[in-house]
Amino acid sequence: TANDIDSLRQRLIAGSIQVQQQIILQLADVGNEGLDVLMEFLLKRRENPATWIDGKAYQVLYESDAPQAQEFLQNNFPEGIVTLKSSCGINYNLLQQLLAQQDFQAADLLTIETMCEIAGPMAVKRKWLYFTDVDSFPSDDLQTINQLWIVHSEGKFGFSVQRDIWLSLGKNWDNFWPKIGWKSGNNWTRYPNGFTWNLTAPRGHLPLSNQLRGVRVIAALFAHPAWSK
Ligand code: UYC
């Protein structure tokens, strides 16, 4: 009823993050009125940086086959809900789309490729990064990539999520790898099929950084000034 919808609307605005997540799932199940509430919610919050709660609401609309939802996204969020800022002319539209589709494996590959593109033609040819490449990455671009991952993964994936876990473990790599599912006992997780390419993965599981050439690249990533502002 209209009353029930209104109660969901109120709790969506005022609830804790856990409540908001629950309400979004309920709204997804009640037809057009539910979609209307989610659209109103996204519009109201668009002045603020998108969080994974916005991402969840976006995701419901994105996955809906209701024409009104598709039209709404086309008109209001044609490039998604994350501001795709770049200081080096990179277009993050495809990464946004892959993450909106929850194609985490393709998004992971594109993330690595894009970071090589930021580093320049030598890195693109080499297909991997030097830690000195990472030091000079623009913060804007790292923040865009990171926010795209966070917003479309219920806050589970992203470099800053990995960094927080690593800091909470006293920067201990041997404890970090098993914690995010990159190692089990003495065994490194095998690329690509050993990894979990969906939201059942451990927090911090994605994006991947190949450890074949040591920890310096990921250490440079975690030391980057992008995370401190
Ligand atoms: N791979 O094992 N990885 C590759 C990971 C290691 C290896 C790519 C992550 C350990 C080889 C990605 C882990 C190791 C290749 C990742 C992991 C190893 C390769 C594709 C857990 C052996 C072939 C992009 C830490 C013991 C390519 C890329 C090559 C590829 C990711 C082996 C994303 C997170 C130490 C032989 N692995 N990688 O970088 O470079 O090539 O020879 O980390």
- Write down the pLDDT at residue 1: 83
Q: What is the pLDDT of residues 170-200, one digit of tens each?
A: 999 999 999 999 999 999 999 999 999 999 9
Nearest-angstrom CA–CA distance, 141 and 79: 16
Low-confidence ranges of the chain (pLDDT < 50): none
- Write down the pLDDT at residue 2: 85
Residues 6+ apart with CB under 8 A from 227: 159, 160, 163
- Nearest-CA neighbor of 26 among 4, 46, 52, 44? 4
Distance in Å, CA 210 to ligand 1 centroid: 4
ipTM for this model: 0.96
- Alpha helices (H) along the chain: 2-14, 17-28, 32-44, 52-63, 67-76, 93-100, 104-119, 121-126, 131-135, 139-151, 159-168, 173-179, 216-222
Distance in Å, CA 17 to ligand 1 centroid: 35
- The residue nearest atom 37 of ligand 1, judged by CA position, is 210
- The residue nearest atom 9 of ligand 1, judged by CA position, is 210
- Write down the pLDDT at residue 229: 61
Strand partners, 184: 187
- Write down the pLDDT at residue 19: 98
pTM: 0.97
Does residue 168's CB lie within 6 angstroms of at least one atom of ligand 1? no
Q: What are phi and psi of 103, to 5 degrees?
A: -90, 80
